[in-house]
Amino acid sequence: MPSVGAFLFGAASIALAVAFQGKPAATFEPPVRLKAGDAFIDTGADIAYSGPSVFDLDGDGKRDLLVGNFRGHVQVFRNVGDDAARRFEAKGFLEADGKVVEIPNW
Amino acid sequence: MLPGKKGGGFAAPQKLLDRAGRILRLGQFWNYETKKWDGVVDSKYAQELGIGVDAVDWDGDGDLDLVIGSSRGRLFLRTNEGTKEKAAFATDSVEILGGGAPLRIGGGECIPSVVDWDGDGRFDLVSGSGTGGVYWLRNVGRAGAPAFEEPRALVEPEPFERGTLRDPRWPGRGTQACVTDFDGDGDLDVLVGDINEEDSKSTAPRERHGWVWLFRHRGPDAKGTATGDPAGKK
């Protein structure tokens, strides 16, 4: 299987165990930041608060990445890999009826 | 809500309304149309800002109810008293309790998502936090009458090594979680969004980033399904 590390930054093999009352609630690989192309996905220009979600937006059978931000926009990252080894391509902001979606935050 | 369109894409965002025709909100909110705070006087939870929501059939009646998280870390239920085809949301929210006491996400800023993390067939809740980390609230209730344990950390807010602003090793604060089988290996991974800012007292613009982190699941402890995932049950 293609490695997730092929398109993610700094994948390592040490597991992290999060203990709760002596029993791990979860065991994960060390975290990595997702990229689109060569650039880290970053909502900092829109006041950050990245809110990720996955959804097959373009109906090609592969789940894409949508990331909300504080300004109320949703950045779209098309999955140009596959669901086992995702690679993302930035496609701008999500639109609805031809307009950029803006969901007020409060 | 962005209604999906036949053939793909979405229609323009719509405000969800309660059965009395009012904008569905938890407490006070900034009304972008009237440009003032609404709900300060007439809301039971006026001091709460509803900042996150997910949908699930909470009571087993076949329609989708709403789980709302607040800026202070509290959790609320807005019951759908209509049908699957025609929603009619209750006119007020009910706080979600655990063992008779309000459930709270430490650090505030509860943004809940619905997921069966432990694969026991009951939907659990997962939330990020204002101070970072990701928390799991295990459902130990029964179908139609969920009951949740206290939040426990899936991702610790304070790791062994956080790194620096430009070379981070761990999510920052204001975390938002998406549980999904990201790598297609059959178990649940966690995507974590965040905010990271330069620590400065200056009024000058600060360097700011909002990353998306992948916590790829390794152990045998999460075998559930992400009901918040469109490819999942919901």
Q: B142-159 pLDDT, tens per residue?
A: 999 999 999 999 999 988
Across the range B106-122, mean pLDDT stands at 96
What value of ipTM does the predicted structure carry?
Answer: 0.90
Average pLDDT over residues B2-20: 93
- Residues of chain B positioned with their CB less than 8 A from the CB of A30: 169
Asked which of B29-33, B88-92, B95-99 is least confident by mean pLDDT, the reply is B29-33
Q: What is the dihedral of CA B183, B55, B113, B95, to 10 degrees?
A: -170
CA of A85 vs chain B CAs: smallest distance (Å): 6
Q: What is the mean pLDDT of residues B68-79?
A: 97
Mean pLDDT of chain B: 90
Portion 27-86 of A in contact with B at CB < 8 A: 27-34, 40-44, 46-56, 58-59, 63, 65, 67-70, 82-86
Quick: pLDDT tens for B201-213: 777 778 999 999 9
Min Cα–Cα distance to chain B from A52, Å: 6
Say what the pLDDT of residue A16 is: 43
Is the CB of residue B111 less than 8 Å from the CB of residue B176?
A: yes
Model confidence at B123: pLDDT above 90? yes
Question: What is the DSSP pairing of strand A35-36 with strand A39-40?
Answer: antiparallel
Cα A98 from Cα B11, distance rounded (Å) = 9
Residue B51 CA to residue B70 CA, distance in Å, equals 5
Yes or no: say if B185 and B158 are a contact pair by the CB < 8 Å rule: no
Q: Is B184 exposed, middle or buried (0-12, 13-18, 19+ CB in 10 A)?
A: middle
Residue B204, pLDDT score = 73
More reliable by pLDDT, B217 or A6: B217
Q: Is the pLDDT of residue B97 over 90?
A: yes
* Sites in chain A below the pLDDT cut of 50: 1-22
Mean pLDDT of B128-143: 97
CB within 8 Å: A59 and B178 = no
- pLDDT for A56 equals 94
Q: Which residue of B has its CA nearest to A97?
A: B11
What Cα–Cα distance (Å) separates residue A46 from each residue in A64, B1, B70, B209? 20, 21, 22, 9
Among B211, B213, B229, the strongest candidate for a mutation testing the A interface, having the largest count of A CBs within 10 A, is B211
Are residues A26 and B154, on separate chains, in Cβ contact within 8 Å?
yes
Coil, helix or strand at residue B128: strand
Residue B8, pLDDT score = 87
Q: Write the secondary structure of chain A as one string of H (helix), E (strand) and C (coil).
A: CCCHHHCCCCCCCCCEEEEECCEEEEEECCCEECEECCEECCCHHHCCCCEEEEECCCCCCCCEEEEECCCCCEEEEEECCCCCCCCEEEEEECEECCEECCCCCC
Predicted pLDDT at B220: 55
CB contact under 8 A, A104 and B221: no
Which pLDDT score is estimated for B233?
Answer: 33
CB atoms within 10 A of CB B24: 20
Residues from chain A contacting residue B231 (CB–CB below 8 Å): 54, 56, 63
At CA B58, angle to CA B137 and CA B56, rounded to 5? 85
Residues of B with Cβ-Cβ distance to A26 under 8 angstroms:
136, 154-155, 190, 215, 217, 219, 221-222
- At B102, is the pLDDT very low, low, confident or very high (cuts 50, 70, 90)? very high
Q: Pairing relation of β-strands B75-78 and B65-70?
A: antiparallel
Burial label, B7 (beta-carbon count in 10 A; 0-12, 13-18, 19+): exposed
CA–CA gap between residue B23 and residue B15 (Å, rounded): 7
Residue B21, C-beta contacts closer than 8 angstroms, at least 6 positions apart: none
Residues of A with CB below 8 A from B208's CB? 44, 47-48
Task: Answer whether A25 sits within 8 Å of B154, measured CB to CB.
Answer: yes
CA angle B210, B8, B88 (to 5 degrees): 80
* Cα atoms found within 13 Å of the Cα of residue A50, Cβ hemisphere only: 35
- Of the candidates B111, B194, B216, which has its C-beta nearest A29's C-beta? B216
Residue with tokens 């800002």: B49
**Which residue in chain A has the smallest CA separation from B39?**
A106
Asked if the model's pLDDT at residue B226 lies above 50, the reply is: no
Q: Specify the length of chain A in residues.
A: 106
Give me the pLDDT at residue A21, please.
40
